[in-house]
Structure formats: C-alpha cells, structure tokens
Amino acid sequence: MKIKEIRELSSDELGGRKRELRQEVFNLRLQQAGGQMERPSRLKDIRKEVARIETVLSERVNKKAAV
C-alpha cells in the first residue's frame, strides 16, 4: 500500500490494518523459525508498511496537538 493510499484511510481503519499486519509478521516469523517461509522479502515489506502507517498516525496526533 502506497503512502497516498494510507493517508486516505481513517485513523480507525489504519489501526485495524496495523493490527492485521502485526499479526501477519508474527505468523511469518513462526514460518521462518520452522523453515517454511516461501517469500522472506514479504516480512520486510510488511514492516515497511507498518512504519508508514505509524508515521501517518503520529502525524495526525501531532497535527491535533498543534491546533
């Protein structure tokens, strides 16, 4: 998901998406430990998307605090 698409989502939707991605990271780590991971690059992509979501959420919090 691109940053432009992330910015269009509401804060509640971002929170839900973040939880889903964190769960997926957990599942991928379990697969990695068991040697069953098919796409190791997926883990990196998910972590980047979580970071983008956290950035947008923190920008929104800072914007509200500044007003």
The residue extents of the domains of the chain are 3-66
Give the pLDDT band of residue 67 (cuts 50, 70, 90). Answer: confident
**DSSP 8-state symbol, 2:** -
Predicted local confidence at residue 28, as pLDDT = 96
pLDDT digits (tens, 9 = 90+) for 8-52: 999 999 999 999 999 999 999 999 999 998 999 999 999 999 999
**DSSP 8-state symbol, 9:** S
Q: What is the fold, at CATH topology level, of the domain defined by 3-66?
A: Helix Hairpins (1.10.287)
Predicted local confidence at residue 49, as pLDDT = 97
HEC readout, the chain:
CCHHHHHHCCHHHHHHHHHHHHHHHHHHHHHHHHCCCCCCHHHHHHHHHHHHHHHHHHHHHHHHHHC
